[in-house]
């Protein structure tokens, strides 16, 4: 395939992707969704975030790492406790990062 065909394919796929996403945004107000679907859609951001974060927390070098050596796991548990108790995103992120940094510093000292 030459460069012209590749660029045509890239532009076509990009235009199709844009049209699909735009159609849902443009038609969202005119579509009547059932109450069950609306309730389920509230959980989409949390589900996507969990799907992104879980592999970063429990997978280390291609293997599941549920061991005491996995400092990210301890930081995630601490952040989850703060999220559960405070329901504050800023405190949750700050706690997770702080716990991870402290544990990494302690590991490098010892």
Q: What is the dihedral of CA 91, 97, 99, 104, to 10 degrees?
A: -170
pLDDT score recorded for residue 5: 92
Question: Largest Cα–Cα distance in the chain?
Answer: 61
Which residues lie below 8 Å from residue 58, measured CB to CB, with a gap of 6+?
A: 64, 65, 66, 70, 72, 73
Q: List the structure tokens of 51.
A: 């799907």
Which residues lie below 8 Å from residue 107, measured CB to CB, with a gap of 6+?
A: 71
Distance of alpha carbon 65 from alpha carbon 88, whole angstroms: 28
Instruction: Give residue-wise pLDDT tens across range 34-67.
Output: 899 889 989 999 899 899 999 999 998 888 999 9
Confidence (pTM): 0.64
Distance of alpha carbon 82 from alpha carbon 92, whole angstroms: 6
The pLDDT confidence band at residue 76, using thresholds 50, 70 and 90, is very high
pLDDT score recorded for residue 3: 87
Domain range list for the chain: 1-31, 40-109
pLDDT score recorded for residue 29: 73
pLDDT score recorded for residue 31: 76
Asked if 84 and 96 touch (Cβ cutoff 8 Å), the reply is no
* Closest-CA residue to 56 (of 72, 80, 75, 34): 72
Instruction: Give residue-wise pLDDT tens across range 18-41.
Output: 999 898 888 877 778 889 988 998
């Amino acid at each position: 395939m030459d460069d012209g065909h590749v660029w045509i394919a890239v532009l076509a796929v990009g235009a199709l992707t844009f049209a699909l996403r735009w159609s849902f945004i443009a038609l969202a107000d005119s579509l009547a969704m059932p109450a069950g679907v609306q309730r389920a859609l509230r959980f989409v951001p949390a589900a996507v975030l969990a799907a992104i974060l879980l592999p970063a927390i429990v997978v280390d070098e291609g293997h599941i790492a549920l061991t005491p050596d996995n400092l990210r796991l301890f930081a995630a548990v601490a952040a989850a406790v703060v999220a559960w108790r405070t329901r504050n995103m800023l405190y949750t992120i700050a706690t997770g990062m702080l716990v991870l940094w402290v544990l990494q510093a302690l590991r490098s000292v010892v």
